[in-house]
Homo-oligomer: A and B are copies of this chain.
Amino acid sequence: MRSTGDDLAGSNDENALEVTVSYTITELARLAGVSTRTLRYYDEIGLLPAQRTDRNNDERVYDTDALMRLQQILFYRELDFRLDDIRALLDDAAYDVLRALHEQKRLIRRRRAHLGTLLDTIERTIAHLQGKAIMSDEQFFEGFDPARYEDEARQRWGADVVDESMRRWRQWSPTDQASVVAEGEDVFKTVLANMADGAAAPHVQATIDRLFQYVNRFWDCDVQAFRGLADLYVSDPRFRATFESMDPGLPEFIHEAVVTYCDRRADAPT
Binding site for B on A (CB under 8 A): 2, 21, 31-34, 67-68, 71, 74-75, 78, 97-98, 101-102, 104-105, 108-109, 111-112, 115-116, 118-120, 122-127, 129-130, 132, 137-138, 140-141, 144-148, 171-173, 175-176, 178-180, 182-183, 186, 202-203, 205-206, 209-210, 213-214, 217, 261, 264-265, 267-270
Contacts and interface: CB of A to CB of B under 8 A. Distances in A.
Contact of A171 (B123, B125, B269): B269
Nearest to A180: B209
A106 to B, nearest CB: 10
A122 B75 contact: yes
Contacts of A127: 267-269
Contacts of A31: 137-138, 140-141
Contact of A202 (B112, B172, B178, B265): B178
Secondary structure dominating the interface of A: helix
B118 A269 contact: no
Given A147-B33, A182-B205, A71 B101 contact: no
Contact of A32 (B98, B141, B179): B141
Contacts of A102: 126
A78 B109 CA distance: 17
A132 B265 CA distance: 13
A130 to B, nearest CB: 8
A185 B89 CA distance: 46
A112 B116 contact: yes
Q: Top 8 A-B pairs ranked by shortest CB distance?
A: A33-B145, A173-B268, A123-B269, A182-B206, A112-B115, A175-B264, A32-B141, A179-B209
A101 B118 CA distance: 11
A203 to B, nearest CB: 6
A219 to B, nearest CB: 14
Contact of A210 (B123, B172, B210, B261): B210
Given A67-B137, A123-B268, 9 more contacts: A32-B140, A32-B144, A78-B118, A101-B122, A105-B122, A175-B268, A183-B210, A210-B210, A210-B213
